[in-house]
Chain A
Amino acid sequence: MRITQGTFSFLPDLTDEQIGTQIAYAQKNGWAVNIEYTDDPHPRNTYWELWGQPMFDFKDPAAVLYELAECRKVFKGRAYIRISAFDNTWGWESVRYSFIVDRPEEEPGFALERLEVDGRSQRYSTRAYSTDKPAGSRY
C-alpha cells in the first residue's frame, strides 16, 4: 500500500530535478529546509527524526540535495524520507509544506483494529503492520 502524505501526495514521486526546484522555491522565500526520516508511517506520527541540522543558511538546492544523498545512503529503502520547509516569520512559525521524497521498497500498510467497550460500543483505530517489529528493523 503506497502511503501518501503532505504536499504533492496525489502526484507520482518527484524526480531529483523536481525536488531541487521545490527546494529552490523554499530557499527563495527564506524558509529553512529540513530533511526528516521515520520508520513509523502512522499518519498521526508528525514528529519525524531530523537528519543533520536544519538548513537555514544554504542558498542553493545543490547543498540540500547533497545532504539528501547522504541521508539516502543510510536509509534508502529502509525508511520514509521527507523534505519540509519551515517558515520562521512572525505569525507563521510553522512548516509551510512538506513532501515525501523516498519510501521503503515494501509498504505493508495498515490494520483496522476494533476495541469493544461499554457493552456493544466499538472504538476504531489503525495500526501500521510495520510497527509490529521493533524500531530499526521494520523495513
Chain B
Amino acid sequence: MADDIATAPVIDLDAAFQDSGVGPILEQLETELVGLRPVKRRIREIAALLLIDKLRKDVGLTSQPPTLHMSFTGNPGTGKTTVAARMADILHRLGYIRSNHLVSVTRDDLVGQYIGHTAPKTKEILKKAMGGVLFIDEAYYLYRAENERDYGQEAIEIMLQVMESRRNDLVVIMAGYADRMNQFFTSNPGFRSRIAHHIDFPDYSADELLQIAELMLKEQNYRFSPSARDAFSKYMAARMSLPHFSNARSVRNALDRARLRQAVRLFETRGHAITRDDLMTLEADEVLASRVFAAAEEAAQEN
C-alpha cells in the first residue's frame, strides 16, 4: 500500500479537462443561450461530476455510474427543448452516452390505441433511444387522471422499469410546464425519485429577451436600426404585461410579424433603389405598428 502511494501518479485535472473537449461546448452554451443561470450551473455540475468520475475510474476507484435522468420544468418558451437537444451532445462528449443521438417523442409515440398495443410501442421507442437520449416533450400528457383505463399508465410503468434497470444505456429527459409536471409527479411518485435532476427554467428578464431577439435576428441576417431597438425594448415591456406571454416564443413571433411589415414597406417603396442594408434592417415603425401597444394601454387603463 505504501508503495502505491509513493508511486501514485499525479492526476492532471487540467489536461483531462482539455482532452475531454467539454470546455468548448460549455463556452458555446454560454454564448448561444441567454440567461438560464440555474440551468447552466447544473450542466456545469454534471460535467464536473462526469469528468471526476472518469478520472476516478482511471486510477481504479470504482463507483456506480450516476443516474442522469432529468426533468425540465418551466414556462412556455424558456428553452427546455433547445437545452434538451444540446444535452445529447454534451453527455456524448463527456463519454456518458455512447452515441450522440436524441429521440424526441410525445404521448402519441409511446401510448397505443388498443389493449396490448402500448407495451411493444413503448419498448420500441426505448430501444431506439438506447445509447442516447430519450426526450419526452409535454410528459404530463402521459398520465390522464380523469380516465383510469388510460393506456398511459402502462407506458409509464414500462418506462420506469427500463429507466431503473438500464440506466447505463439511456438517459430520459422529460419536459413540461411547471404546474402540470408537478401534478404529474404527485400522481406518479416513482418518477420523481427516479429522476435525479429536476431543473427549473426561469422566465427571462426584459434585457435577456432583447438579447435573444438580437441573436435571433443575427441568425437570420437581419438587424434592428437603433430606433427599432429602443422600440422593441418598449414592445417587450408592453408584451410582458399582457396575458399568454411565452418568453422567447413571443419574441420570435414578434420578429416574424416585424419582418412581414418590413417586407410590405420595401414593396411599397418600389421604384427606388434598394440596398443590401435596406433588406437587412428593421425600422422602428415596424415594431411600433404592433397592436400590443394599444392592448397594453387599454389593460393599464382598466386597472
Contacts and interface: CB of A to CB of B under 8 A. Distances in A.
A61 B132 CA distance: 11
B101 interface: yes
A59 B169 contact: no
B229 interface: no
B79 interface: no
Contacts of A97: none
Contacts of B128: 57-59, 63
Nearest to A53: B124
Given A57-B128, A67-B127, A62 B101 contact: no
A66 interface: yes
A16 interface: no
B166 A59 contact: no
Interface in A44-65: 55, 57-63
Contacts of A58: 127-128, 130
A12 to B, nearest CB: 26
A66 to B, nearest CB: 6
A96 to B, nearest CB: 21
Per DSSP, are chain B's interface residues mostly helix, strand or loop, or mixed?
A: loop
Contacts, number: 32
A66 B124 CA distance: 11
Interface string B126-139: 01101110000000
B99 interface: yes
B98 interface: yes
A30 to B, nearest CB: 13
A60 B128 CA distance: 8
Contacts of A63: 127-128, 130-131, 169
Nearest to B100: A59
Contacts of A59: 99, 101, 128, 130-132
Most buried by B among A58, A63, A66, A67: A63
A59 B98 CA distance: 10
A61 B130 CA distance: 8
Contacts of B131: 59-63
Contact of A66 (B99, B101, B127, B132): B127
A63 B98 CA distance: 12
Nearest to A64: B127
Contacts of B169: 60, 62-63
Interface in B102-129: 127-128
B179 to A, nearest CB: 35
A81 to B, nearest CB: 18
A58 B169 CA distance: 12
A67 B101 CA distance: 20
A59 B125 CA distance: 12
A25 B118 CA distance: 31
Interface of A: 55, 57-63, 66-67
By Cβ-Cβ distance, the 5 closest A-B pairs, closest first, are: A60-B131, A63-B127, A62-B169, A63-B130, A60-B130
10 contacts: A57-B128, A58-B128, A59-B99, A59-B128, A59-B132, A60-B99, A60-B130, A60-B131, A62-B131, A62-B170
Given A58-B130, A60-B98, A63-B130, 10 more contacts: A55-B127, A57-B128, A58-B128, A59-B128, A59-B130, A60-B99, A60-B131, A62-B131, A62-B166, A66-B127
